[in-house]
Homo-oligomer: A and B are copies of this chain.
């Protein structure tokens, strides 16, 4: 591998809206890039840190106006609480209880939450008042939710079923590539 930063640079912006096929191809590159990177280390924190960067540059490159791309993971001392993990974007809430907000609901239900308008989502936790839509994908390891992928967007309906499909693939890749036992 040359410069690691090249993995972020590959998602160059086109200033055009992508077709569904182009979007799917780009998100496939995201998943493959994560797999290539995580072949070098099982360290959970290192892998989540690089994954948050891949997510940021991938979505910016697709002209999807993300303002936060990152992770919450299970608190080692309380398996009904998520704690803030690596991300790209503005300062965020440090703790989220299962069942609270979009992240807590994804964790407690073990189901992806695709939220086109966070203002209409009952019990939404706002870390940033500018967020308009959100997608949260649970990460499951040995049948248990151990964390979530969380993406926020400054536009309504920022995410769709294509994002859900590929982010669930990313969640599987993250679940199987990291030393979760050391942290949770």
Q: Does A59 contact B (CB under 8 A)?
A: no
Interface secondary structure of A, over-half rule: mixed
**CB closest chain-B residue, reference A44:** B45
Chain B residues within 8 Å of A94, by CB: 37, 40-41, 43, 46-47, 50
Q: Does A182 contact B (CB under 8 A)?
A: yes
**Among B7, B37, B53, B90, contact of A8 (Cβ-Cβ < 8 Å):** B90
Q: Are A127 and B87 in contact (CB under 8 A)?
A: no
Count of chain A residues with a beta carbon within 8 Å of a chain B beta carbon: 43
Listed A/B pairs (24) with beta-carbon separation below 8 Å: A4-B90, A4-B128, A5-B91, A5-B92, A5-B127, A5-B129, A37-B94, A40-B94, A41-B95, A43-B75, A43-B84, A45-B45, A45-B73, A45-B86, A46-B85, A46-B94, A49-B85, A49-B87, A50-B91, A50-B94, A53-B90, A53-B92, A76-B182, A86-B87
Q: Are A85 and B45 in contact (CB under 8 A)?
A: yes
The chain A residues found within 8 Å of chain B, CB to CB, are 3-9, 37, 40-41, 43, 45-47, 49-50, 53-54, 57, 70, 73, 75-76, 83-95, 126-130, 182-183
Given contacts A6-B91, A45-B84, A85-B86, 17 further A-B contacts (CB under 8 A): A3-B128, A3-B129, A4-B91, A4-B93, A5-B92, A5-B128, A9-B90, A40-B94, A43-B94, A45-B73, A46-B85, A49-B86, A49-B87, A50-B91, A50-B94, A53-B91, A57-B90
